[in-house]
Structure 1
Amino acid sequence: MIKRHPTYWFNDGDTILHQKVLSDHDDNDIFYRIHHSRFSWPESPKFLPGSSSQLVSELGSYISDNDQNTFRTMGENDSDEELLDGLNGCKYVVLDHEQAIDANDLVVLLDHFYGKNVLSPESDLTTRIVPILRITSLDQLNIPTLHEEAKKSFVRSFPNNAQELANFQGECAEEALAVAIQYDIRQPQKPLLYYLATQTHLELHEADSQDSRTSISTLSHTISTHMISLFTPLLFTPPPTSHMECTDALAEHWMPLVIAPAIEDSAMGKPLQTLERMKDVNWSECGLCEECVRIKREEWTEEQDRVWKIMDTWILEADAKE
């Protein structure tokens, strides 16, 4: 029995998409009737005239040299006749098991092409950007222009400097990093690795491969070790200032305002967050002069930038060990 999609079945559509669901039963297969002109990125061979897809020639059949019975069997039941009536001449495209195209991803793609939820910088990462990234990739529908647009949206979803990363909260960081590695999107990998390295708990998405799990776990552990070694001496040593009085005031408040919160938050391995918190302290109320406060905050910002830059070396070292 044919199941047509409740939204994407248009009576004036000229293209039939046959979504083969990943199961042993064709009863669950989904059909879409859409407009070929909506696919404005013609690089995908699935939607080019003269591609491996077929034209429907009569009720429940199509013109093809191979797999003659595939579409015909879909129309053998009387209950399917009304559904199939009027399909003569429609382009017929099978999205088969080998491509493993997710039905939700396909709907997200159609939403984009039909203008219902167009990909934009404001698009949600997990429900819009990643699905379009997957379905437009080379091993699925292969729509390069939209795939590159999705990559740019993906990159914009993550911090690009130390100060942004200090305040970053990544709800789906593990899955996002696996996606970044899979599609070779380099820029987000460093902030995502830092974020994961600062977490005390690392659980990768169930869909990630074992190789991906091992690689990410190794990288995050290596970076975490480096960060603790680098940052611990700075954290437990009150820095000097330009004035003796300011140095004494800073040292007096260093334990309750810096060290104690860091220990409570296990922040020895979270240099960017801890430095940002140090910058946010009202040091003037602690007795430091305005000039010393300004200088210290500048120094802590420079230290954040140093951590950000040195992470490139740590990542290369970890990659070299694998």
Structure 2
Amino acid sequence: MNGDAYNHADGSSQAAKRYKSQRSLGHSDPARQHPDFWYQDGSVVIEIDLTRFCLHQSTLQKHSAYFSALFRGKGKSKSDGRAYHELEGGEPSQNGHIPVYHVCETTADDFVALLTVIEQPIKYAEEVPPLSILAGVLRSAGALSFTAQRKWAERTFERMWPAAFDTLTDEVIPNASTALTLARTCGVRNVQKRASYELLRMPTFGQSIATVLDTVQVGRRGRADATDLEALPHADLLRLVHAREQLCLAWAEAAGKAPTDLACPRGTQTQTSTERGSCASMDVDRMHSRWAELVHTNGLFAQWMADPLMGLQKLVDIPWKDEGFCKRCVSARRNEWEELRRKLWNNLDVWLELPTAADSE
């Protein structure tokens, strides 16, 4: 999905109503000047949520197709919740009155995050921004068509939540529910997958029991509280439950019992076991015994029940050769577990109902 093509109708309408309501309370002009983004030599004032920003028109139209189009349509007002030009008055300045534009497509906080990144490009090119800054840029850059900043925010977000198979480790990335909600809102597919995976391997999907129960009740009522990013929507909880069921079934089948169905590749060779040495897989009782000790008694099976992808990696990492299994047996089984890991990772796309790559364009 194109980052500049969000459907902001509901948010814009709510912002417009909020603006009109605030305007009607007490003062004819209750807006305040932002303490940091009020430039004395600014040429245009942008008002969002009763906060005014005195900025350089040339900078805004350089970065934003939204503002470029808005300024070309100077003098045309809109009352449908989108931006409009204040035709009368304006903001007094040392150079006379400058035009004021009211913008309802984003929030003041998100706009501040966007301006902060534009003002300090070198800083944020060298360090990872706080999630609050990144979220604000993603939302406001998408809403106001700041294409370059939107792409930067997407790339940064995806680096924080990589979806490549070879980036998986047993270290859980925190704040997954916030990341998932933000990724769904902004259409960042790869982050949706990694954040969902992190939630899958957390107890109660990283939610408190009270939060989960509240979310289920909200789902039944058919509405959601968008102010609480930590509370996962009912639909996401159902997707996670389904995906975890599938992963647990795969783990039980792969690690529940010793894999005695795979014959030792050396068993068909002409050399005798005396010449080559015996392989533990040729002794079924011995294999069951070692499997029970290494996988079950040691707690590996239970520990990785919620994270079979890393559980399978732990099986791969066991020094099976030291346990008496031949090199070919070890290689065959490790290849089988690696193939299953990749298959499960790919299946998450279906189980989690993730958008396809085409949907994200």
Same fold at TM > 0.5: yes
| Equivalent in 199, 205, 218 of residue 238 of structure 2 | 218
Counterpart residue number, 2:195: 192
Q: Helix, strand or coil: the match of 1:142?
A: coil
Change (3 A) 1:270 1:64: closer
> Counterpart amino acid of 2:279?
E
Counterpart residue number, 2:279: 245
Q: Which has the higher contact order (CA 8 A, sep 6+)?
A: 2
Question: Does 246-255 or 269-278 show the bigger shift?
Answer: 246-255
- The alignment status of 1:109 with 2:114, answered yes or no, reads yes
| Equivalent in 94, 106, 122 of residue 102 of structure 2 | 94
- Distance in 2 separating the partners of 1:283 and 1:121: 44
Counterpart residue number, 1:201: 204
Number of aligned residues: 281
Is the Cα–Cα contact under 8 Å of residues 178 and 229 in structure 2 kept in the other structure? no
Counterpart residue number, 1:9: 38
Counterpart residue number, 1:283: 320
How many Å apart are 1:237 and its aligned residue? Answer: 1.6
Structure 2, unpaired ranges of 5+: 1-29, 77-84, 212-224, 267-277, 355-361
> Counterpart amino acid of 1:4?
Q
Is the Cα–Cα contact under 8 Å of residues 250 and 286 in structure 1 kept in the other structure? no
> Counterpart amino acid of 2:112?
V
Counterpart residue number, 2:174: 171
Change (3 A) 1:316 1:132: closer
Counterpart residue number, 1:295: 332
Counterpart residue number, 2:342: 305
Question: Does 252-261 or 171-180 show the bigger shift?
Answer: 252-261
Q: Helix, strand or coil: the match of 2:204?
A: coil
| Equivalent in 143, 146, 149 of residue 146 of structure 1 | 149
How many Å apart are 1:160 and its aligned residue? Answer: 2.6
- Aligned pairs for 1:265-280 (under 5 A) are 265=303, 267-280=304-317
How many Å apart are 1:195 and its aligned residue? Answer: 2.6
Structure 1, unpaired ranges of 5+: 21-28, 55-62, 73-83, 318-322
- Distance in 2 separating the partners of 1:296 and 1:277: 13
Counterpart residue number, 1:228: 248
Change (3 A) 1:251 1:37: farther
- Distance in 2 separating the partners of 1:264 and 1:102: 48
- Distance in 1 separating the partners of 2:75 and 2:238: 44
Query: With structure 1 as the length reference, what TM-score do the two structures score?
Result: 0.71
Counterpart residue number, 2:81: none
Query: With structure 2 as the length reference, what TM-score do the two structures score?
Result: 0.65
- The alignment status of 1:30 with 2:77, answered yes or no, reads no
Question: Does 221-230 or 9-18 show the bigger shift?
Answer: 9-18
Q: Deviations over 1:147-196 (max 9, x none)?
A: 24433333333233334234452312112222222233333333333332
Q: Helix, strand or coil: the match of 2:233?
A: helix
- Distance in 2 separating the partners of 1:245 and 1:111: 64
- Aligned pairs for 1:61-80 (under 5 A) are 64-65=86-87, 68=88
- Distance in 2 separating the partners of 1:282 and 1:128: 45
> Counterpart amino acid of 1:298?
N
- Distance in 2 separating the partners of 1:316 and 1:2: 44
Q: CA RMSD for the aligned pairs?
A: 3.6
- Distance in 2 separating the partners of 1:143 and 1:253: 60
Is the Cα–Cα contact under 8 Å of residues 46 and 93 in structure 1 kept in the other structure? no
> Counterpart amino acid of 2:306?
G
- The alignment status of 1:50 with 2:88, answered yes or no, reads no
- Distance in 1 separating the partners of 2:301 and 2:336: 22
Q: Deviations over 1:183-232 (max 9, x none)?
A: 33333333333332232223379635899611100100011111112220
- Distance in 1 separating the partners of 2:254 and 2:336: 12
